Structure 1
Amino acid sequence: MKTLQKITVILTIGLALSILVVFFTTSNAVSSGNETIIRFGHGAAESNERHLAVMKFKELVEEKSEGKMKVQVYPNEQLGSEAEMIESVTFNDLQMVAASAFSQYDQRISVFELPYLFDTYEQAWQVLDGEIGQEVAEPLLEDGLRVVAYFENGFRHVTSNKPIEEPEDLSGLKIRTPEFPLSISTFKAFGSNPTPMAFGELYMALQQGTVDAQENPIANTYASKFNEIQDYLSLTAHQYMPLPVAISEEFWRTLTSEEQEIIKSSASEAAQFHRDILRENEEEMISKLQDAGMTVIEPDRDKFREEADAVYEAYKNRFGEDFVNNILKAVK
């Protein structure tokens, strides 16, 4: 009987310790002595420019705070998918995330993905870093998500095994898109058959012929070596996609004004760092794709832009006509 009691006590103590370990390694892992700990997750590999930008943020925060703030970085979806990481930030189980899947909380954040909304990177950055960028992100505060900067995803282009020079060339083509409503709507407008699937499944799907084509920023096409299974790169630039960086609003309110400023300024500097290195590397990546045997096509984008008009009409109904018109006015 005494042995049984001892075992029960040991098991009870063990369970209590396990709960404490979990408790202090999740939502409450934001302080250690005199240090403030920021856990930052993202979905890219450590070789990706996105990871370099997050590491730049870490460097800036720790330098500006003189080591009083520490950033722990978790790349490559170590803490779950983008959607799961964003949800963790809403609960302050994770303090920061760089991801694309915020439209699950408010679809208006995806307004920047309207086809051919922006003609240049500079035009996009000016809108994102101004009042419109703040206004579009503001509704996310209701879910505990504060957007502090917009990192870079860039302009998206099509790869395929047939030349794509005008929208008619996409007719009936089975093309992989992300699971974003605007991406799907855009390619339906082009007459193709958009097929959403996870990015991690894409290489094999192209290899096996499950899909005929795909669309991504140059950096993703290059890093994933799609040139091994796709013959053509068509520089359609059909969508620009930013990468919002969000911090837990619950966590944010525990910070001093000085700490908040350190995070804001560091995120802004890291965002521009990300934008710059992607732009600097893009031409080189295109050249390397050509050297590897890929044919690069520069199509007439005006024809694609005309076909995309139908998407604007549909999303004016969804987002609100005044909202979309204000975005268009800011772009001009």
Structure 2
Amino acid sequence: MKLIRNIMITAISALALSLIWIFASTNDLAETEGVTLIRFGHGAAETNERHLAVMHFKELVEEKSNGSIQVQVYPAEQLGSEAEMIESVTFNDLQMVAASAFSQYDQRISVFELPYLFDSYEEAWSTLDGEIGEKVAEPFLEDNLRIVGYFENGFRHVTSNVPIEKPEDLQGIKIRTPEFPLSISTFQALGANPTPMAFGELYMALQQGTVDAQENPVANAYSSKFQEVQQYLNLTAHQYMPLPVAISEEFWQTLSESDQELIKESTLETAQFHRDLLRENEESMIAELKADGMQIIEPDLEPFQAETEEVYESFKRQFGEEMVNSILEEVQ
């Protein structure tokens, strides 16, 4: 046991030293070449569309700035979990991050995850890129986080070993959800038994029957090969989830107005690049899942929407009606 602990300590120390070396190297680069350096972290693998989007952002910024701004990208949680990377941005140790875990600083950003809030991608994008998206982002400035745009996580759907055609089909189903309050309350309202667990444990849990079902965007189900352990992809579209992109406010204030505008424009352009890429790939992913033997269920969503109305009332009681109503008005 002592040997294992010593090995773990050595590994952690080696990782810390490697990160110090990485940051020292990039600092030397910025100083010797007189460029502004942006360190940008995210949690996805290098094969994921998210990484392709961040690399697109890097290309845009470096091209538009004629090389005076350089972007160093750290994928696959090289610099820690999403929560840890966001915290690093609050300290300006990391300048930018694309992640989902912002509700740890202000839960009102979860308003975009209310069930059946959006009927289409276009509705979601219009809301996020408009005044509502900016208003929801404002409180994060108090934590040195400036949200400059929203990448895509997309609509979430249920996979299962029984078809989910109506809310009653979810009664008693043990379904894995992330540890997001709105995800849990949504499936409680639908009569399921939400069971939070780490995503890395999910395939095994489905395989062994520890949980009966799970819910995620199609891309996650596809990349994790859930068709090997689940028979049905039920297009419930029960939640839309954006992926906020934040920059350190401390770092932002060191930039000229023209550089701020360049970064903002590049973020918005990249956000749409990411959205279009995921949407285009989602269609082919569903086709491949079907070809692999997964049955695709397209239920009538109105009964699901009716069953989850109580989630809205709970959210309003917790955070006030004004924000929720303003978003509903914007969407309508």
Look up the match of 1:228. Answer: 228
One-letter amino acid of the counterpart of residue 127, structure 1? T
Instruction: Evaluate the alpha carbon distance shift between residue 161 and residue 32 of structure 1 in structure 2; reply closer, same or farther with a 3 A threshold.
Output: farther
Partner SS for 1:83: helix
Flag as ranges the 4+ runs of structure 1 deviating above 3 A.
Answer: 20-33
Instruction: Evaluate the alpha carbon distance shift between residue 56 and residue 273 of structure 1 in structure 2; reply closer, same or farther with a 3 A threshold.
Output: same
Distance 1:197 1:69 in 2: 40
Look up the match of 1:239. Answer: 239
1:157-172, aligned counterparts within 5 Å?
Answer: 157-172=157-172
**1:144 and 2:140 correspond:** no
One-letter amino acid of the counterpart of residue 189, structure 1? A
Asked whether the equivalents of residues 157 and 215 of structure 1 are also in contact (C-alpha less than 8 Å), the reply is yes
Instruction: Evaluate the alpha carbon distance shift between residue 156 and residue 22 of structure 1 in structure 2; reply closer, same or farther with a 3 A threshold.
Output: closer
Q: Deviations over 1:47-71 (max 9, x none)?
A: 1111111010000001001111111
Considering only aligned residues, what root-mean-square deviation do their CA atoms show, in Å? Answer: 1.9
Distance 2:28 2:167 in 1: 52
Partner SS for 1:40: strand
Look up the match of 2:10. Answer: none
Deviation, 1:28, is 10
Q: Deviations over 1:62-94 (max 9, x none)?
A: 100111111111111111111111011000111
Deviation, 1:203, is 1.1
1:293-308, aligned counterparts within 5 Å?
Answer: 293-308=293-308
Instruction: Evaluate the alpha carbon distance shift between residue 73 and residue 167 of structure 1 in structure 2; reply closer, same or farther with a 3 A threshold.
Output: same
1:51-200, aligned counterparts within 5 Å?
Answer: 51-200=51-200
Partner SS for 1:254: coil
Distance 1:27 1:172 in 2: 54
One-letter amino acid of the counterpart of residue 74, structure 1? Y
Partner SS for 1:163: coil
Instruction: Evaluate the alpha carbon distance shift between residue 302 and residue 68 of structure 1 in structure 2; reply closer, same or farther with a 3 A threshold.
Output: same
Distance 1:290 1:277 in 2: 20
Aligned residues: 315
User: Gaps (5+ residues) in structure 1?
Assistant: 1-16
Higher Cα radius of gyration: 1
TM-score, normalising length from structure 1? 0.91
Distance 1:103 1:26 in 2: 30
Distance 1:29 1:146 in 2: 25
Instruction: Evaluate the alpha carbon distance shift between residue 312 and residue 23 of structure 1 in structure 2; reply closer, same or farther with a 3 A threshold.
Output: same
Partner SS for 2:243: strand
User: Gaps (5+ residues) in structure 2?
Assistant: 1-16
Look up the match of 2:210. Answer: 210
